Amino acid sequence: MSASDPGRVRIGLLGCGNVGAALVGLVGEQADTIEARTGLRLEVARVAVRNLAKERSVTLPEGVLTHDADGLVHDPEVDLVVELIGGVEPARSLVLDALKAGKPVVTANKELMANVGTELFGAAEGAGVDLLFEAAVAGAIPLIRPLRESLAGSRIRRITGIVNGTTNYILTRMSEEGATYADALAEAQSLGYAERDPTADVEGYDAGAKVAILATIAFGASVVAGDVAHEGIAGVTTADIAFAHRLGYEVKLLAVAEQGDDGRVAVRVHPAMVPSSHPLASVRGSFNAVFIEGDAVGELMLYGRGAGGRPTASAVLGDVVDAAGNLRRGTCASIGALPRATIRPVDDARSEYYLHIEVLDRPGVLHAVSGVFAEHGVSIRSMEQEGLGDEARLIFITHDAAESAIQATLGALRGLDAVDRVTSVLRVVAP
């Protein structure tokens, strides 16, 4: 913070891509309003990028752009650092250096926070400055601050989120237009919603990083990306979605974090059948939403744009205003060192399940298949059968069952001569 002008806050920006460029634009648009409300005059003083020759969508004054990210962090003309590079390194080293230099840091980097967040919280605590990361989970939707502050008075039991816009867009196209997974993915790629290599989105890694961060904040114990069990959406078929509709459900990729009475934390990402009456079922296209269940608060849902340059930059700017205000007051709202969470193995999780099985169409098959469910203690809530020439399709919805019992049932079903293949297995969210 400038000694001659205590209201002036000089931002050092690491990265000027989708979000960084949008942030530069938004600071320009909002600086007067922010100054009128807070007395803080925000300026983008330095911007570090990888490639100085690249054309930018924003115009920066001469001398602001640099490729020297280390120099930016240590520059005495920078009061606060915003990290919008992405990935773990060099972002981690740059953020640690900034914190050690006593500069607050704002980041939108989920990979960074979900992998080395605890180390960074410790460094921020040690330096007595802010490390804020509202935009790292679900872009523009306020989640970190509500979980840390507004909901601190209620024990949070479960968080269920649609936190990946790409997969929600794909599943919405499959649900509403009857598109195949491959066609919906190709369309998402052509519209820029999906990367050329969509693995991080469709296999659930992106949602996994986000739910690790949400669990850490909601339960006050460190959960990392590697703790999250993943299943992606590549196996979801148009037939599954048609069955889901007939039974009164939508198929969604859910990121779930829950804490039991024993304090253990379960974190997982998987496609699931969500009752059409559930608020998450109506989250369409690239929108995100997070449904929170707590003891005192009951149920609530936060909904909005989970990505995109300007929506994400708006969350980053909110954090910048907060961190700049704290810097001026000489305070900080750091999370501090957190204990490691005890993770509950995914085998212990319980749910109702949908199973889609293709079998040979001959007498006695149904009896053999339902016998396997009974042997493993999995009780069947409903069953449908459809002929497919020499084969038949069996659709089961089970009652609540342990994941371990379902896995054992699937293993035994695959060993039956009459079972051609188990096409799909989806969890079913209770109404």
Which residues of the shown chain bind ligand NAP in the complex (CB under 6 A)? 14-20, 48-51, 54, 69, 84-86, 90, 108-110, 135, 139, 307-308, 312
Q: How far apart are the first and last CA of the chain?
A: 52
Burial 64-77 (b: 16+ CB within 10 A, else e): bbeeebeebbebee
Cis ω before 6 (30° cut-off from 0): no
Q: For residue 415, what are the contacts with CB-CB under 8 A and spacing of at least 6?
A: none
Q: How far is the CB of 219 from ligand NAP (least distance, A)?
A: 22
The residue among 216, 224, 108 whose CA lies nearest residue 159 is 216
How far from the centroid of its chain's Cα atoms is residue 185's Cα?
Answer: 19
Task: State the pairing for strand pair 265-275/229-230.
Answer: parallel
Residue 107 vs 222, nearer CB to ligand NAP = 107
How far is CA 383 from each of CA 235, 357, 369, 379, 393, rounded to the nearest angstrom? 21, 11, 11, 11, 10
How far from the centroid of its chain's Cα atoms is residue 3's Cα?
Answer: 40
Q: How far is the CB of 179 from ligand NAP (least distance, A)?
A: 23
Residue 289 vs 365, nearer CB to ligand NAP = 289
Determine contact, residues 188/79, Cβ cutoff 8 Å.
Answer: no
Q: How far is the CB of 262 from ligand NAP (least distance, A)?
A: 34
Q: How far is the CB of 265 from ligand NAP (least distance, A)?
A: 24
Q: What is the dihedral of CA 133, 139, 141, 142, to 10 degrees?
A: 10
Helix H or strand E encompassing 99 = helix 91-100
Report the distance separating Cα 242 and Cα 405, nearest Å.
Answer: 26
Residue 73 vs 395, nearer CB to ligand NAP = 73
Residue 283 vs 369, nearer CB to ligand NAP = 283
**Which residue sits closest to ligand NAP, CB atoms considered?**
17
Report the distance separating Cα 143 and Cα 91, nearest Å.
Answer: 23
Determine contact, residues 150/135, Cβ cutoff 8 Å.
Answer: no
Report the distance separating Cα 275 and Cα 288, nearest Å.
Answer: 17
100 in active site = no
Q: How far is the CB of 255 from ligand NAP (least distance, A)?
A: 15
Residue 73 vs 156, nearer CB to ligand NAP = 73
Q: How far is the CB of 45 from ligand NAP (least distance, A)?
A: 16
Residue 294 vs 311, nearer CB to ligand NAP = 311
From the candidates 54, 100, 110, 210, give the one annotated as an active-site residue: 210
The catalytic residue positions are 210
